[in-house]
Amino acid sequence: MGGLNREIVEKTERFLKDSLDSGAYMSSHPEDKMYRLEHTYRVANIGRQIAREEGFDETEMVIACLLHDVSYCEEFGETGWKEHGRSAARIARPFLNELGLPKERVEDICYGIAIHVDDEADFAGERTPFALSVGDADNIDRFDVYRIHENLCNDDFLKMPFEEKSEYAASRIERLRQLMDLEMGTAAAKKIWQERLLFYITFFEKLELQLKNSKEIL
């Protein structure tokens, strides 16, 4: 449904960055703010790809994805992570209304933001393909080159004993194969999801083989 309305997207980017800048936690943890912005932009670009292939409004999808984690401007507390989709929708709604979007589009965008964490919202809404795509784009970003590096670092892969490394690779392959048929909101998201997982599986299969080659003559 056409390309991006750059003016609206830029307003949304400013709102997102101003919101994160105003949060006490992000102000004192600049590395977390950098990561959150980078993740958000990746999700927005994935969302735009889904929108383009499914015929959704690209601008609406991009702003929905840009705002899906805007609640990271707040202190989370004990249940904050689980609630952050619903909190983000609450923060985003007044801004979306100021953009002059039709009420039904604001509702669809907010519902998608609200349910992207645990599939639940604190207001009535419809699980439209558009709304589901916000969470789909977020989940797809969990599986790409950056995340492989990030996860290996966070799990201290290089410090693992050899056998633990082998078990790590094998368990990742098994889990990734289980995720291949995860339900998505659109055919476009399913295609991207499976392409990402196949890349991951190939990486860990190669890692598994390299580990075997490091221990004996095969």
Domain 6-138: assigned CATH number: 1.10.3210.10
Specify the pLDDT at position 8: 97
87-144 residue pLDDT tens: 999 999 999 999 999 999 999 999 999 999 999 999 999 999 999 999 999 999 999 8
DSSP 74-114: S---TTHHHHHHHHHHHHHHHHHHHTT--HHHHHHHHHHHH
Phi, psi of 160 (to 5 degrees): -70, 145
- Name the token pair of 179: 């995720």
| Torsional sign, CA 92, 45, 11, 31 | positive
Residue 83: which of 107, 117, 124 has the closest Cα? 117
Give the domain ranges of the chain: 6-138, 145-213
Specify the pLDDT at position 27: 76
Specify the pLDDT at position 82: 86
DSSP 146-174: HHHHHHHHHTTGGGS-HHHHHHHHHHHHH
Identify the segments of the chain with pLDDT beneath 50: none
